């Protein structure tokens, strides 16, 4: 059985990246996906918006939905202060070992916990099973039709506090219209749109930041 694209991305990282150097892992993935095989990593352009938002949030506990190959988990985790942690939810069992290996090569395994499952099943477990009080930062990059219901679920589970920062990828392409409708019409969120481009493509995209006001 020939290898998956995600396995080929791991091969490239394993062969080319400097062990323990997150930047070199990110550069390797961006080079591979920019030159050989497109993949749905947030990428180097939108990655800068992600970096800036993580720095603004300076989270102690961060959540990501949609681990995929671990690219954004590395972007987030490399900026976390000591003792801060990232929980990343992924349901596709094929991606999980690949993401774990890529995060390990980046030297960030201590900071990242990949949780296998669907966001709607895991979110209600975060407080008791994963000892989360509230989330300081949330990156939404999973199924676009889950952005709105999962945001509502985070509220209902008491996981957001005054100042929690949400950042959503792909607001323009593929698009998350229900999420935009929900978040921008809800006075409890202060929203900011960041027009940008789709990873590795000259296609317009945008990211949306939403600060929960409690």
Ligand X SMILES: O=C(NC/C=C/[C@H]1O[C@@H](Sc2ccncc2)[C@H](O)[C@@H]1O)c1cc([N+](=O)[O-])cc(O)c1O
- Distance, in Å, from the CA atom of 96 to the CA atom of 148, rounded to the nearest integer, reads 24
Catalytic pick among 6, 64, 141, 208: 141
Give, as ranges, the residues between 180 and 209 that touch ligand X (CB under 6 A). Answer: 198-199
Among the residue ranges 10-18, 75-83, 137-145, 186-194, the one whose residues contact ligand X (CB under 6 A): 137-145
Binding test (CB under 5 A) with Mg ion, winner from 67, 88, 170, 196: 170
Count of positions on this chain that bind ligand X (CB under 6 A)? 22
Catalytic residue among 30, 144, 150, 205: 144
Residue 77 makes CB contacts below 8 A (sequence gap 6+) with 22, 86, 103, 106, 108, 111, 112
Q: Which does 68 bind (CB under 5 to 8 A by kind): ligand X, Mg ion, none?
A: ligand X
Looking at 67-75, 95-103, 110-118, 140-148, which segment touches Mg ion (CB under 5 A)?
Answer: 140-148
- Taken in order 87, 6, 16, 45, the sign of the CA dihedral is negative
Question: Which of ligand X, Mg ion, none is residue 95 near (CB under 5 to 8 Å by kind)?
Answer: ligand X
**Cα–Cα dist 185/58, whole Å:** 27
Q: Give the residue with the Cβ less far from ligand X, 65 or 160.
A: 65
Among 40, 48, 153, 191, binds ligand X (CB under 6 A): 40
Give the 3-state secondary structure of 66-127.
Answer: CCCCCHHHHHHHCCCCCCCEEEEEECCCCHHHHHHHHHHHCCCCCCEEEEECCHHHHHHHHH
For Mg ion, the binding residues (CB under 5 A) are 141, 169-170
Q: Which residues are catalytic?
A: 141, 144, 169-170, 199
């Amino acid at each position: 059985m020939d290898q998956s694209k995600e396995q080929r991305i791991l091969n490239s990282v394993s062969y080319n990246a400097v062990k323990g150097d997150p930047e070199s892992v990110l550069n390797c993935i961006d080079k591979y996906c920019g030159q050989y095989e497109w993949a749905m990593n947030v990428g180097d352009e939108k990655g800068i918006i992600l970096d800036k938002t993580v720095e603004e949030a300076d989270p102690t506990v961060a959540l990501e939905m949609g681990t995929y190959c671990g690219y954004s988990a590395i972007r987030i985790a490399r900026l976390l202060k000591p003792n801060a942690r990232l929980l990343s939810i992924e349901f596709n069992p094929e991606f999980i070992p690949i993401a774990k290996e890529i995060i390990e090569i980046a030297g960030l395994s201590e900071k990242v916990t990949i949780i296998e499952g669907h966001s709607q099943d895991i979110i209600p477990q975060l407080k008791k099973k994963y000892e989360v009080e509230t989330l300081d930062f949330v990156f939404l990059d999973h199924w676009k039709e889950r952005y709105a219901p999962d945001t509502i679920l985070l509220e209902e589970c008491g996981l957001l506090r005054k100042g929690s920062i949400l950042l959503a990828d792909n607001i323009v392409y593929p698009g998350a219209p229900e999420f935009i409708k929900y978040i921008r019409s809800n006075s409890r969120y202060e929203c900011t749109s960041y027009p940008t481009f789709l990873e590795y493509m000259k296609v317009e995209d945008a990211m949306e930041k939403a600060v929960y006001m409690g």
